[in-house]
Amino acid sequence: MLLLFSLLPSWATPCQSLDVSTFDLGGTNVKDRFSLNRYERNVQVSNLSSVEAPVLLDVIRASLPEGVEMSLHKHEEEHYEAR
């Protein structure tokens, strides 16, 4: 199967650092503290047909490392500003 979509410019957004705490059951005492870093990579695709989309998305999902999420959305101007 020949895929005919195009990849447009891709970019990474700056890391988001999050401080997360867990609490004792039913209490307010902090049980553990974690520092998490969240990274985002953005890839733009054009001319992706409804026949090709499931193939591409299945390949991406299958290759994601454990703990990594994928989201799919229409490109908006705010995505450029997040860079």
pLDDT tens-digit map of 46-81: 888 888 889 888 988 898 887 777 888 787 777 666
How far is it, in rounded angstroms, from Cα 15 to Cα 38?
A: 6
What pTM, to 2 d.p., does this model score? Answer: 0.57
Structural domain containing residue 55: 12-66
Asked if the structure places residue 81 within a domain, the reply is no
Residue 57 lies in a domain: yes
3-state secondary structure of 21: strand
pLDDT higher than threshold 90 for residue 33: yes
Q: How many domains does the chain have?
A: 1
Answer yes or no: is 59 within a domain: yes
- Under a CB-based contact definition with an 8 Å cutoff, are residues 32 and 19 in contact? no
Length of the chain counted residue by residue: 83
Q: What is the largest CA-CA distance in the chain?
A: 58
